[in-house]
């Protein structure tokens, strides 16, 4: 597996997003199977694993803690703070909370669940409008100085917030949604990250599965699958957005690859500091995704994708309005 740099942190060119193993896409997957899959990923060269306390909550961190313990010296584990969890358990989270004391409490709990002595990369999961970002960065700086965190990251933050945080504690990475059907970061975020030397970790690089070509407007989801609530996943939107998948399929045929591999190869071709984190619960998909690292898109391929995708109008917002308000701050 090729390596890439997120700031000063070296990781595999493709990471593994672990949320779907425990959270959001229906019931949690079988624990033994996921432990085997995580360990297979390490053996195949993946060194970068992404989780968060809210995934479950808690059970995803516990899963990674158990699965990756034998490989601690070979892996980089990223987790996140910043949500207010519902103590009743009826809701997974009830808002954001990046108060410095809460950040430190989350770090201590995550360390225990992950069975590690220091968190490799600690992201603020969403910006908290009630806590100055300088205070957030200061709290993480305290954790770095205490040896409990190695690198600081943010998720779905706006350019000015990134600059203000970076001035207090240099950011290693920003994690935000980015793919061929979610291109918002290109205008302002990517130039800011490049200027400041911050890495970029696109989540949902396969459009929550849509860009793989494995679903259409007739596909149904488990009742607990959060895609049921996303405007972009209504049957009407999926039917309209199918043209983007068709484009990926055409390029895939040309390159003897799959649509998913083209979508990931396109991301890798955008900037050398981009490390996508596609998620999966299946070994075959893991192998397919890793294969994207070997797919080389020529300048002509990239021009063709750009020209054709510019004519496609993606239907549907990526989140409901209540969640969309929490991004880009």
Stronger pLDDT, 94 or 91, i.e. the higher one: 94
Q: What is the dihedral of CA 281, 287, 293, 294, to 10 degrees?
A: -160
Going by pLDDT thresholds of 50, 70 and 90, the confidence category of residue 244 is very high
Do 76 and 49 contact (CB within 8 A), yes or no? yes
* Sheet containing 171-177, strands listed edge to edge, beginning at the edge strand earlier in sequence: 16-17, 48-50, 76-81, 119-124, 149-155, 171-177, 199-203
Digit-coded pLDDT (tens) for 48-89 = 999 999 999 999 999 999 999 999 999 999 999 999 998 877
Give CA angle at 133 (130, 136), nearest 5°: 95
Domains and CATH numbers, the chain: 3-208+271-295 (3.20.20.100)
Instruction: Give the per-residue pLDDT at 88.
Output: 73
* 161, HSE (Cβ side, Cα atoms, 13 Å): 21
What does the mean pLDDT of the chain come to?
96
Instruction: Give the per-residue pLDDT at 143.
Output: 98
Instruction: Give the per-residue pLDDT at 302.
Output: 97
Q: How far apart are CA 133 and CA 142, in angstroms?
A: 14
Digit-coded pLDDT (tens) for 288-309 = 999 999 999 999 999 999 999 9
In the 8-state DSSP scheme, what is residue 12?
Answer: E
The total of other beta-carbon atoms located within 10 Å of residue 265's CB is 24
Looking at 25, 55, 203, 319, which residue is catalytic?
Answer: 55
Instruction: Give the per-residue pLDDT at 237.
Output: 96
55 is catalytic: yes
pLDDT higher than threshold 90 for residue 100: yes
Q: How far apart are CA 64 and CA 52, in angstroms?
A: 10
Instruction: Give the per-residue pLDDT at 86.
Output: 84
Instruction: Give the per-residue pLDDT at 322.
Output: 80
Residue 103 has which token pair? 């950040």
CA 78 to chain CA centroid, Å, is 10
Tell whether omega for the bond before 57 is within 30 degrees of 0, i.e. cis.
yes
Give the pLDDT mean for 249-259. Answer: 97
**What's the pTM?**
0.97
Instruction: Give the per-residue pLDDT at 250.
Output: 97
Q: How far apart are CA 27 and CA 223, in angstroms?
A: 9
Q: How far apart are CA 100 and CA 136, in angstroms?
A: 6
Do 14 and 47 contact (CB within 8 A), yes or no? no
Radius of gyration in angstroms for the set of CA atoms belonging to the chain, rounded to a whole number: 19
Digit-coded pLDDT (tens) for 138-196 = 999 999 999 999 999 999 999 999 999 999 999 999 999 999 999 999 999 999 999 99
């Amino acid at each position: 597996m090729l390596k890439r740099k997120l700031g000063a942190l070296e990781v595999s060119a493709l990471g593994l997003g672990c949320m779907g193993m425990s959270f959001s896409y229906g019931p949690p997957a079988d624990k033994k199977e996921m432990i085997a899959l995580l360990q297979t990923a390490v053996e195949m060269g993946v060194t970068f694993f992404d989780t968060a306390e809210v995934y479950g909550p808690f059970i995803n961190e516990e899963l990674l803690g158990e699965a990756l313990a034998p490989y601690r010296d070979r892996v980089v584990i990223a987790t996140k703070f910043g949500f207010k969890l519902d103590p009743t358990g009826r809701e997974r989270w009830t808002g954001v909370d990046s108060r410095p004391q809460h950040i430190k409490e989350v770090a201590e709990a995550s360390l225990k669940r992950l069975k590690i002595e220091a968190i490799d990369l600690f992201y603020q999961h969403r910006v908290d409008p009630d806590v100055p970002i300088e205070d957030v960065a200061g709290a993480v700086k305290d954790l770095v100085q205490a040896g409990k965190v190695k690198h600081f990251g943010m998720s779905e933050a706006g350019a000015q917030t990134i600059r203000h945080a970076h001035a207090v504690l240099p950011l290693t990475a920003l994690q935000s949604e980015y793919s061929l059907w979610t291109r918002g970061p290109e205008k302002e975020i990517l130039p800011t990250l490049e200027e400041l030397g911050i890495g970029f970790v696109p989540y949902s690089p396969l459009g929550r599965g849509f860009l793989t070509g494995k679903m259409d407007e007739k596909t149904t989801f488990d009742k607990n699958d959060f895609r049921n609530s996303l405007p972009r996943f209504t049957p009407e939107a999926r039917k309209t957005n199918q043209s983007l998948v068709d484009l990926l399929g055409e390029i895939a045929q040309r390159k003897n690859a799959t649509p998913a591999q083209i979508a990931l190869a396109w991301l890798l071709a955008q900037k050398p500091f981009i490390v996508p984190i596609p998620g999966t619960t299946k070994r075959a998909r893991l192998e397919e995704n890793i294969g994207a690292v070997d797919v080389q898109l020529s300048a002509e391929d990239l021009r063709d994708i750009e020209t054709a995708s510019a004519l496609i109008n993606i239907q549907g917002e990526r989140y409901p309005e209540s969640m969309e308000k929490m991004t880009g701050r």
